[in-house]
Amino acid sequence: MKNSSLYKGSLNTIIMKLLEEKGRMYGYEITQKVKAITLGELNITEGALYPALHKLEAEGLLEVEVEKVDNRLRKYYKLTEKGNKETVNRLAELEEFIKNMQNIVNPKLSY
C-alpha cells in the first residue's frame, strides 16, 4: 500500500463507505474496487483487508452472507444497521480530518 501509514487508519472507513454504496461485496472485489477508484494509487493488501473485515464483523458493524458462485463458496459482507449509523459518523470524522489537514498543509494566510 502506498504511504501505508497515512492510509492505514482510514482502511475501516474506506471499507464501510464502499459497502454503503454497493450494498454487499466480497473480499477480492473490495481490493479491486479500491484499486480502480484510486487508479492503482491505493492498493489494499490482502494481509490488511481480511483482518479489518473480520474485526468489523466481530464488532457487529458488518454481517456476512455466503453464496455458491461457480464451483466455490463466496462470502459477502454488508453493513448492519449499527454499521450504517457508524459509517455516517466515521465519514464525518474523516472529512473533518481532511479539512484540518488541508488547513495545516495549505494554510490560508490572509483571513
Partner 1 sequence: MKLSDEQIQRLYRFTREHFVEHYDLQTELVDHLSNAIEEEWKENPKLSFEEALQKEFKKFGVFGFMDVVEKRQSALSKKYHLLIWKHFKEFFTIPKLIITISLVVGLFYFFKYIFFYELMGIGMILWFVLLIAALVYEKRKMKKRKNQTGKKWMFEEIIYGYGSFSAVFAFPIHMINIFSNHGNGIPNDYILFGISLFLVAVFLGSYVVVKIIPSKAEEYLKQTYPEYAFSN
Q: Rule CB under 8 A: is residue 36 a binding residue for partner 1? A: no
Q: Rule CB under 8 A: is residue 81 a binding residue for partner 1? A: no
Query: Smaller CB distance to partner 1: residue 14 or 49?
Result: 49
Q: Rule CB under 8 A: is residue 5 a binding residue for partner 1? A: no
Q: Rule CB under 8 A: is residue 54 a binding residue for partner 1? A: yes
- Please identify which residue in 1, 13, 26, 78 interacts with partner 1, judged by CB under 8 A: 26
Q: Rule CB under 8 A: is residue 65 a binding residue for partner 1? A: yes
Query: Smaller CB distance to partner 1: residue 17 or 74?
Result: 74
Report d(CA 23, CA 31) in Å as an integer.
16
Q: Are 19 and 77 in contact (CB under 8 A)?
A: yes
Can you name the residues that pair with 65 across neighbouring β-strands?
A: 76
- Report the 10 Å Cβ neighbour count for 54: 13
